[in-house]
Structure 1
């Protein structure tokens, strides 16, 4: 049964809010009971309850709940969240429970969904690397799961082609303006030279203000121009902002001794204003090892690259802010046809400047995109296949069939 819940700013604000003990307790209790009923596994019920109670992560909890509802005997589809990673934050014991649940539901799932779910589990085990002695078996299992996913096409998932209803422009502009006012006061540009990026910069250039269909304020700062510890301390000391999360970008490359060769790299400060407006402050890195040079920022699974840019002043409401000097080049790299307004945008599937990250979960997301597009958008599938080949993720197997290469995950 399909019962899609429209995505809105109010929903995102509710899910990203830091909730008190009473709300968390109620949500955790309901999550435990419902998950135990639909999965019959205490380990999964306890893990989901912990998302609400311990982690206070209602966004992850809601997405995981929707994922269980869709795959359980309820068959309740409340979101078109086709690229959600159901294993986020899970340890190996929880992954065992999740895999048993997926296997038990196999005959009720579309083959491509079942294959992708198994691949996510294998990817998370490899990334956890909880037992280095098992890294090679985990790598073998991950490669097999990716190859099993590659044989599928997306014909059984017509809902992925269904156009979404235009979203109502419900971003509270006045609250966003107040959040920006307070951010300017807390971090003057002469002390922290932050700049507009992504959708917020698009709004500045195209709409001369915030986008009505946005969800947050996107800001950037170069990594050599920010003292992250001092910035976090200033946010924590403020009575106008809360530091929701401080996250890292990482990949999963290993030496032959099974130790990771990629230290965690700070990539984002997620900040909440008292009005409920969210501010994402992305740490930008200058990479001059390539020609031409690039600037990149990322998330735990994503990396967005732009041609190296300088920042210049722009007028925005009552403030002078900074943004990329070549606005057309920057926005074209980020959005393609940025002059045509859209009401829905997915940073995982709709960004031309998203590049492949050598992280197992990211690999599964890209492979899933590829097999979906084989049926629905052959041109996009061909382009994605070329990128996957060029970056060493896909190779031709002995029988001529396309296979996943795990060589990137070992030096």
Structure 2
């Protein structure tokens, strides 16, 4: 579920709102879609003054208020829509989001449940139930219902391209990866672009364990990516050091309160040991937990039940890798299994998928400024096993899922898949240098390179491009 209620970036100067309704609405909607909800509000408020009962205006204003962290105002605006049309689905959904943002999860769940009871195709509301319910049975059922609702909506020929992409994602989250792959293949021409279709098909095939096919589809996604979609220059990283520090401190306190032993892992361990905090260019936090012989601790249960944590919809109890979101930061939680004198972790239990094998370690706390965190000890041996002897030197393009010395039994097609997937993500951020470095690590000769390589050429000189950190 989108973390409505968490403030968007503060306003930039966008000028005074126009005097006509249409310009105000279009400007406000464009700013909100660009992630500038605060900037959108003056324009949308002006539009509402001109046409106070216009549904699209009220809906756009309420959504921007939610994204700006003004949940109480949003609740009032959604209420204004519902006074005009009590059955307005988007407004009912929005009101439930506002209730949850205001801390009333029980009321939000009641609103979502009532909505889907009468509107079974309200797939976003099914997904929101999955995001906030503390009950695992209801969560899984809601994930399944969302996928089925999207299948119904995509059964005809009139669905928007975005629905086909959402359906593939929902089917994968419902653990129906083969169905997702078939769906994407059968409706290939209905996605927003060929690149989008290849990309969604690649993800479904990967989750189905069809790694070679997944990598080939990912190569096609990158080869067919329109050059116009690639930013001309690198974009700023939305994951700031302050965001990472705050999210980590809060999540660590949640784990400690639950009595769960954890440690900083992977890039987060590297950042704190080498630089005293999260890596400036990182995009998530990495946390490790030692899994007991009985399968515990119940990490998914803890996350699901906590109102400030959002569990990935595809996650299930017992998974060895659990992605979540907290305070605007992504967190990757890895369960490490002791095996003789070693520790093993990875993305799944599928043969050939990403897995790492480390020597056995102790866990010791270290102080960083005013905060202390547990790290594997000796940490430098762990970092050498993870990143090689050169871990002390920042490496712009290194990716542990592709090139870590600790990789254990990983298919070359899986490594190729991640080289392509992360290169595509880097390109979409305008970071051509990182995309080149990632593709260079692929152990497989990739098809379509004659179409991929031109996209990796610099759009303009960038003196800082080669100095970014691992």
TM-score with structure 2 setting the length: 0.44
Q: Which has the higher helix share?
A: 2
TM-score with structure 1 setting the length: 0.49
Point out which structure has higher relative CO (alpha carbons under 8 A, 6+ apart).
1
